Structure 1
Amino acid sequence: MADTFIWVPTVAGLSGDATLLVRKAQFGDGYRQSVADGINNRSSSYNLTFVRDTATIAAIMAFLDAHAGATAFLWTPLLRPQALFTCEKYSEPTKDGAVYTLSATFDQTFAP
């Protein structure tokens, strides 16, 4: 069973994209045929920001490092069901007073 990412991102820094894979065939008379490509033709990618205390940011970094960008984990995006994601890239934290800021990109995957 995959681990679950439990930390909630800062809503102000949350953005995402959905990618729909489509196969297209263009014909000479202007006719085009399109069909969904594969059984998982929709995937999502989220840019997340976490603004938290030292211990929380350290725990997030430890979680992401433990998964090494390759092992999938469970995470629940806004208005979507829980799904599997990987994180191949995150920023080194920056400090502002007593809090740190960390940004990460979560990419949906379909196998642990």
Structure 2
Amino acid sequence: MAEVFTWCVRTEITGTGDFLTREARFGDGYRQTAADGLNNETQQWPISIVGKESKVGPALAFLRARKGAESFLWTPPLGVQGLYLCKTYSLIPHGNGVFTLNATFEQTFQP
């Protein structure tokens, strides 16, 4: 079972969703569009965590332990808990022990 990402992220994040579709075009501008597969919507969420090392450090360790290949459970704003991967992150030190962790969560699916 996948572990759960439990840290609070900044609320000003803006997620994006992509729909995978198939389309057939016909004459006179007509076209037929259908969803491609059962899970045809994927979401990407840029997240941010700001705080002291004691807050940011464990979240960074959680992401690094998965090495960009192991999915984890996370619940996006106004969403349902699902599986996500984190392939990229950045850490910004602000001084006085304060850091910003930026990462991108990409939705994934498993049987």
Please give the TM-score of this superposition, normalised by the length of structure 1: 0.92
Say if 1:20 and 1:41, in contact at 8 Å, map to a contact too: yes
- What is the distance in 2 between the residues matched to 1:35 and 1:2? 31
1:46-75: per-residue Cα shift (whole Å, max 9, x none)?
A: 011110111221111110110011100000
Say if 1:72 and 1:111, in contact at 8 Å, map to a contact too: no
1:2 aligns with 2:2: yes
* Structure 1 runs, 4 residues or longer, greater than 4 Å off: none
Please give the TM-score of this superposition, normalised by the length of structure 2: 0.93
RMSD: 1.4
- What is the distance in 1 between the residues matched to 2:47 and 2:15? 8
- What is the distance in 2 between the residues matched to 1:6 and 1:84? 13
Q: What amino acid maps onto 1:11 in structure 2? A: T
- What is the distance in 2 between the residues matched to 1:45 and 1:94? 25
1:64 aligns with 2:63: yes
What 5-or-longer segments of structure 2 have no aligned partner? none
Question: In structure 2, what is the equivalent of residue 34 of structure 1?
Answer: 33
What 5-or-longer segments of structure 1 have no aligned partner? none
Question: In structure 2, what is the equivalent of residue 73 of structure 1?
Answer: 72
Give the CA deviation at 1:98: 4.0
Paired residues, number: 111
Question: In structure 2, what is the equivalent of residue 84 of structure 1?
Answer: 83
- What is the distance in 2 between the residues matched to 1:57 and 1:27? 54
Q: Percent identity?
A: 43
Q: What amino acid maps onto 1:72 in structure 2? A: S
Q: What amino acid maps onto 1:56 in structure 2? A: K
Say if 2:18 and 2:43, in contact at 8 Å, map to a contact too: yes
- What is the distance in 1 between the residues matched to 2:81 and 2:20? 21
Q: What secondary structure, in the 3-state scheme, does the structure 2 residue paired with 1:101 have? A: strand
